[in-house]
Amino acid sequence: MFSRISWIALLCVALTALAGAAEPESAPAAPSLAERLETAVRSSDDARIEKVHQDVLAAAEREANQYEWRILAAKGYLARADLLRVQRQMGKVSEEENSAMREQQAIWGKAGAEHAEAAKRLATTDQEKSEAYRLSGECTVHRINGPFAGMRYGPTAKSDIEYALEKNPENWEAHRAQGLMFLNNPPINGGDLDKALETFSECAENDGDRDAYHALLAQTWMKKDRPERARLEVQKALAGNPDNLLARLTKERLEERKAW
Q: How far is the CB of 228 from another protein (least distance, A)?
A: 5
Task: Of 236, 226, 242, give the one whose Cα is nearest residue 253.
Answer: 226
Smaller CB separation from another protein, 143 or 236: 236
For 240, residues 6+ apart whose C-beta sits below 8 A from its C-beta are: 209, 210, 211, 214
Minimum distance from residue 194 beta carbon to another protein (Å): 9
Shortest separation between residue 211's beta carbon and another protein, angstroms: 13
Contact 90, 253 (CB under 8 A): yes
Identify which of residues 64 and 239 has a Cβ nearer to another protein in the complex. Answer: 239
- Closest contact distance (angstroms) between CB of 235 and another protein is 5
Calpha distance 162→122 (Å, rounded)? 19
48 vs 226, which CB is nearer to another protein?
226
- Scored b (16 or more CB within 10 A) or e, 187-220 reads eeeeeeeebbbebbbebbeebeebbbbbbbbbbb
Task: Report the interface residues with another protein, using CB under 8 A.
Answer: 226, 228-229, 231-232, 235-236, 239, 258-260
Q: Considering the complex, state which of residue 184 and residue 260 has its C-beta at the smaller distance from another protein.
A: 260
